[in-house]
Amino acid sequence: MLTIHHLGRSQSERIVWLCEELGVPYKLTLHERDPVTILSPPALKALHPLGAAPVIQDDGLLLAESAAIVEYIIVKHGGGRLRLGPDHPDFASYLHWFHFANGNLQPVMGRLMVVRRAGLAPDHPVLMAAQRRLDQVMALIEARLDEADHLAGSEFTAADIMSVFSLTTMRLFQPLDLRPYPSILAYLQRIGARPAYRRAMAKGDPDLAPMLT
């Protein structure tokens, strides 16, 4: 059986959610962050050199990197569901937003988090540049969700699964006021109503109320 190693409050929530959406059986192994450093515990570091989550085990295979895991599970266990093929009119949009999650959204939030923790003055050029980049990324997502119900288009896809963590749980580490983004807020309400999302969050982070507002 597929085993998901989930680190609380991390990108590995994507994998739990994906399996719930697809109805793929899995064993969930929960890992808690070090209470002082907030980093991964030794058990995760013993699995993978980077000591990061998600990590999955599947019939002797060990695989890390959330985007790779999502694609692997969709193809290997999900019958190709939740991804759009080349004949679909939204194929290019699906590819763009699937990769936008880890190519732009998550990195810019992480960059701003690190820069802010460096204690720079509010008008420091590096801090201002990091904030400006995040503002641009958020404006792009807002514009997309103003014209479509989901990131790829009308259909819910793995592009949504890849992106929601950064708009929700990541805000524990890098606060982000979503009030200027009504279309994103409406989107998160639609996501929060999905039974599979609710099950995944309850299983993976039972003490965390999903950050949908």
Amino acid 117: pLDDT: 94
Distance separating alpha carbons of residues 19 and 27, to the nearest angstrom? 10
Amino acid 61: pLDDT: 97
Amino acid 123: pLDDT: 97
Residue 212 lies in a domain: no
Same domain, 100 and 55: no
Distance separating alpha carbons of residues 7 and 205, to the nearest angstrom? 9
pLDDT at 159 over 90: yes
pLDDT at 2 over 90: yes
Residue 74 lies in a domain: yes
Amino acid 38: pLDDT: 85
Query: What kind and span of H or E run contains 64?
Result: strand 61-64
Distance separating alpha carbons of residues 179 and 81, to the nearest angstrom? 33
Q: What average pLDDT does this structure show over 146-161?
A: 98
Give 21-75 pLDDT, tens digit per residue: 999 999 999 999 988 888 899 999 999 999 899 999 999 999 999 999 999 999 9
Same domain, 111 and 159: yes
Give 175-187 pLDDT, tens digit per residue: 999 999 999 999 9
- The model's pTM: 0.97
Give 112-150 pLDDT, tens digit per residue: 999 999 999 999 999 999 999 999 999 999 999 999 999
Same domain, 76 and 113: no
Residue 173 lies in a domain: yes
Residue 53 lies in a domain: yes
Other beta carbons within 10 angstroms of residue 123's beta carbon come to 7
Residue 181 lies in a domain: yes
Give 187-204 pLDDT, tens digit per residue: 999 999 999 999 999 999
Same domain, 58 and 115: no
Residue 18 lies in a domain: yes
Query: Domain range spanning residue 158?
Result: 91-194
Distance separating alpha carbons of residues 210 and 213, to the nearest angstrom? 9
Q: Are 175 and 131 in contact (CB under 8 A)?
A: no
Tokens (6 digits) for 166: 């950064």
Same domain, 33 and 67: yes
Distance separating alpha carbons of residues 190 and 194, to the nearest angstrom? 7
**What CATH number corresponds to the domain at position 17?**
3.40.30.10
Same domain, 17 and 109: no
Amino acid 177: pLDDT: 98
